[in-house]
Amino acid sequence: MNPALDELTLTGLRATAFHGVFDHERRDGQVFVIDATVYLDLADAARTDELGRTIHYGELAEEIVSAVESNPVDLIETVAERIAAVVLAHEAAVSTKITLHKPSAPITVPFDDVSVTITRHRTAPNHTAGFSVEPQRLS
């Protein structure tokens, strides 16, 4: 029997980082906004009232922001994968949905937001779904 999948959601995390394909993005940086939903079974944590049986959302928030602020890359898709890997490194996480917003993207027409949303699942216990925190470079 599969356990119920509950949700832990962090909305509107902010990180200043230097991702982008243009020189001014790498030089000046910009704010990125992150929404992360973690799917996990919260029944045991609720029953026992033990923090160790869930994911400490304060620590997770810090880990996500740190992942966004490190190692500049060209694409927000790469950063979203990095965030998913951070989430799935937590044993309790079964899957995650990440939305990474780039509200100051270099677009020449009026807009409110640009974002990518990815959903990733754990492939095996204690495994980060094949992702590494750092982007993979093709040879």
Residues designated as active site: 102
Strand order in the sheet with 115-121: 6-17, 30-40, 95-101, 115-121
Strand partners, 34: 13, 100
Give, in degrees to the nearest 5, the angle at Cα 23 between 22 and 25: 70
